[in-house]
Amino acid sequence: MARCGCRDRTTRDDPARPALRRLARDLSGLADVLADVLADAALDDRADRAARALAQADRLARIVGGRRVPPGAFPECALVGDDDEFFCTGPLVHPRDVLSAAHCAAGGARPTRVRLACDTDVAAGTEEEVRVVRARVHPRYREDGANDVALLVLARPARTAPVRRATTREFVKATSVRLVGFGYDDPDASLGFGTKRQADVPIGALRRRPSDALAALADRLEFDPATEFVAGRKRLGRDTCNGDSGGPAYVKVGARWKLAGVTSRATADAVAACGDGGIYGRVDAHAAWLDHLLAAL
């Protein structure tokens, strides 16, 4: 999974994109297949090697791109879109609410539906789609990225279980996050949207204590340490990209993945189109706003 160097993570379709998306989805997972082939080559049993090689060939007929999320994992990570297309990502944080990026619901973006419990944007009949009846953009959201969070209110409670949020104490102990989203997986082209992928990246800048001196980093990367954190770094090559906007950044707490942040934008010093790290809204920093809205349901 990669991240683009533009200011947000929204993607909109052009006429050629459906065909390109299908091609990317059919080929996505090539890296995984090659890794499995190399591992299988070490097997002692020749018949077993042959059987596994045939299985990998079958996978290649369907799948190319970043590391796919295992089937059924992170079902609360939803596609976000309007009646015509999907363009963002967001985690279900309450049976009636999906959290996403404010820029996915402001300006010209008007989300009208979310799709849960899916691995791609191709309808399979097993996913859960719910209408969005209202988008609550953070009142202090600014187009430069500040407070880039929004709550999408659903028409009915989702059957899918919502994710638990990490507390501040749980989050500040973390050294890395797992990014999940449906965005592009190619650093040089608009390819790969619609497949749920994951990437583990180190936390680059996070205010763990009030005394942490992050002013220089905040100025260089253009993020607010009080409400945001940075994950990834230059030339790491693992990141989020367009279409991952609003998607979850998880931390591992015991055996459970908990929500720590949502995808916002690239850092100001990013050079490559994708892969140079990005900025994520801290869910714990917006807990009071979220709890106030959720309590009103």
Residue 67 placed within a domain = no
Same domain, yes or no: 88 and 128: yes
In a domain, 1, yes or no: no
Residue 204 CA to residue 269 CA, distance in Å, equals 13
Is the same domain home to 39 and 124? no
Mean pLDDT of 70-92: 96
Same domain, 211 and 140: no
Distance separating alpha carbons of residues 15 and 270, to the nearest angstrom: 29
Question: Looking at the structure, do residues 250 and 175 belong to the same domain, yes or no?
Answer: yes
**174 shares its domain with 281:** yes
What total of structural domains would you count in the chain? 3
What distances in angstroms separate CA 95 from CA 12, 256, 277, one per listed residue? Answer: 27, 19, 31
Is the pLDDT assigned to residue 284 strictly greater than 60? yes
Identity of the residue numbered 58: D
| Average per-residue pLDDT for the chain | 84
Whether residues 48 and 91 share a domain: the answer is no
- Judge contact between 259 and 93, C-beta under 8 A: yes
Q: Is there a single domain that holds both residue 113 and residue 158? A: yes
C-alpha distances (whole Å) from 287 to each of 48, 99, 167, 171 are 52, 12, 9, 13
Percent of the chain at pLDDT above 90?
Answer: 62
- Cα dihedral 297, 261, 273, 20, rounded to 10, equals -50
Residues 114 and 94 in one domain: yes
Question: Which helix or strand (DSSP H or E) is residue 113 part of?
Answer: strand 113-116
Residue bearing the bigger pLDDT, 113 or 20:
113
Q: In this structure, are 148 and 173 located in the same domain?
A: no
For residue 254, tell me if it sits in a domain. Answer: yes
Task: Flag whether 119 is in a domain.
Answer: yes
Closest CA to 243 of 183, 187, 179, 192: 183
- Give domain status of residue 71, yes or no: no
Question: Is residue 263 domain-shared with residue 242, that is, in the same domain?
Answer: yes
- Predicted local confidence at residue 7, as pLDDT: 46
pLDDT score for 60? 38
Task: Give backbone dihedrals phi and psi of 34, rounded to 5 degrees, phi first.
Answer: -60, -40
DSSP 69: P
Task: Please give the pLDDT value at position 242.
Answer: 85
- pTM of this prediction? 0.79
Domain for residue 12, yes or no? no
Query: What is the per-residue pLDDT across 106-143, written as a single tens digit (0 to 9) for each?
Result: 988 899 999 999 999 999 999 999 999 999 999 999 98
How many CB atoms sit inside 10 A of residue 65's CB?
23
Instruction: State the angle between helix axes of 46-60 and 30-40 in degrees (0 to 180), rounded to the nearest 10.
Output: 170
Contact call for residues 142 and 156 (beta carbons, < 8 A): no
27 and 102: one domain?
Answer: no
Structure token pair of residue 15: 């006429």
Same domain, 180 and 278: yes
Q: Answer yes or no: are the C-beta atoms of 5 and 270 closer than 8 Å.
A: yes
State residue 218's pLDDT score: 96
Q: Is 65 part of any domain?
A: no
Residues 6 or more apart in contact with residue 106 via CB below 8 angstroms: 137, 141, 143, 150
Q: Rounded to whole angstroms, how far apart are CA atoms 27 and 62?
A: 6
Domain that holds residue 249: 168-285
8 Å CB contact between 158 and 95 = yes
Residue 62 identity: R
Length of the chain: 297
Residue 16 has pLDDT above 60, yes or no: no
Residue 4 lies in a domain: no
**CATH code assigned at 252:** 2.40.10.10
Mean pLDDT computed over 228-244: 87
